[in-house]
Structure 1
């Protein structure tokens, strides 16, 4: 239900999920996901049962889901909600430095984001009985609300701390041309330099 992605990865994709860093509010319906990552991602994830009546061919009711987060390093956190109740919380201490792989602490996401609503299915989160699902199926969304603290409004993709609009405008074709699948060969651009490697 709630899933966060962290890079760089901890040793063995094992984030610091102590009881202080991973708060599960109802262990009768929520549990640590056994999938913790692979070569392309590390997952900080808890699986939560959802209200089964709120699926299309049941009663068709609506269920309230939510995410609340405070970005940064200090007292940052992410809390996922299901059925209008807190499901679990990840505190930033779970993303602490890992000397086993020489990585520093990672923040709770600070960059601008967008919301995606989809009807994604995966056998990784439980059995999916595809033969019994009467396709096509639909995801009905009644409303989406976004709240922000009045002293920390962040709208758009170009905040002062993480400017991106000029970069996107400069390389606009890379974002809109599906035939450009490689940066250097197809798009004929120089590979970006990395200040951590002393290239800038």
Structure 2
């Protein structure tokens, strides 16, 4: 959401009267795919606005402990997001129809701009880390630095298929298929516990309540459906 003033906005506000830009960040713990090398997971963050040609500064900002298992994903994004992602070989024994074991996947992240990072875990081991220096300003595409996600987020598990993600071998696919989850654990720094969707530095509840229909009716997909105009954009001089 634009940081421009003069329009409805959940806040918070900068000292100069403009609002803090708001976003809907996404960190993918894993998305699974098969390759000639075996079962892989893509572990990524989705960002906007984008680096020029989706090229972000990897030197000193990309940490891959074991290059025999993990490599930077050649897919870098599309029209709606820049994908900063790595592909890792998985424990093939833990795929369905094999030995029915469980593999540990996860993320650890410290939000913000300075000394911030996101680390991904594959098969119980650190697979790769993105440091906040990889999201610095890009003069060529005229964007400012982007943070490691600071917004309130929730955890979602879903099992789906996508032809845009990988070629699907329908002839050899066994259906129905199951994504089995043994446990989910969330750890936080005991001195920085933050639970909920409405923290003081990123308030959300009042805005959602004001536009409750937009957030509660799945048939409404446009702001015009509830009689509102699309939020303005200061970059385009709309506010």
Q: TM-score, normalised by structure 2?
A: 0.77
Alignment of 1:15-26 (within 5 A): 15-18=56-59, 20-26=60-66
Q: Distance in 1 between matches of 2:56 and 2:157?
A: 26
> Unpaired runs of 5+ in structure 2?
1-41
Give the corresponding residue for 1:119: 159
Q: Distance in 1 between matches of 2:76 and 2:62?
A: 14
> Unpaired runs of 5+ in structure 1?
none
Give the corresponding residue for 1:2: 43
Give the corresponding residue for 2:8: none
Distance 1:94 1:55, change over 3 A: same
Q: How many residues align?
A: 198
* Higher relative contact order (Cα pairs below 8 Å, separated by 6+ residues): 2
Q: Distance in 2 between matches of 1:125 and 1:28?
A: 23
Q: Distance in 1 between matches of 2:184 and 2:47?
A: 25
Distance 1:99 1:77, change over 3 A: same
Structure 1 residue 178: Cα displacement: 2.1
Q: Distance in 1 between matches of 2:139 and 2:119?
A: 27
2:86 alignment partner, one of 42, 46, 53:
46
Give the stretch that moved more between structures: 128-137 or 141-150: 128-137
Asked whether the 8 Å contact 1:25–1:87 carries over to 2, the reply is yes
Q: Distance in 1 between matches of 2:230 and 2:174?
A: 47
Structure 1 residue 129: Cα displacement: 2.4
Q: Distance in 1 between matches of 2:118 and 2:172?
A: 35
Alignment of 1:21-100 (within 5 A): 21-100=61-140
Alignment of 1:153-168 (within 5 A): 153-168=193-208
Structure 1 residue 130: Cα displacement: 2.5
Q: TM-score, normalised by structure 1?
A: 0.92
Structure 1 residue 199: Cα displacement: 5.9
Query: Considering only aligned residues, what root-mean-square deviation do their CA atoms show, in Å?
Result: 1.8
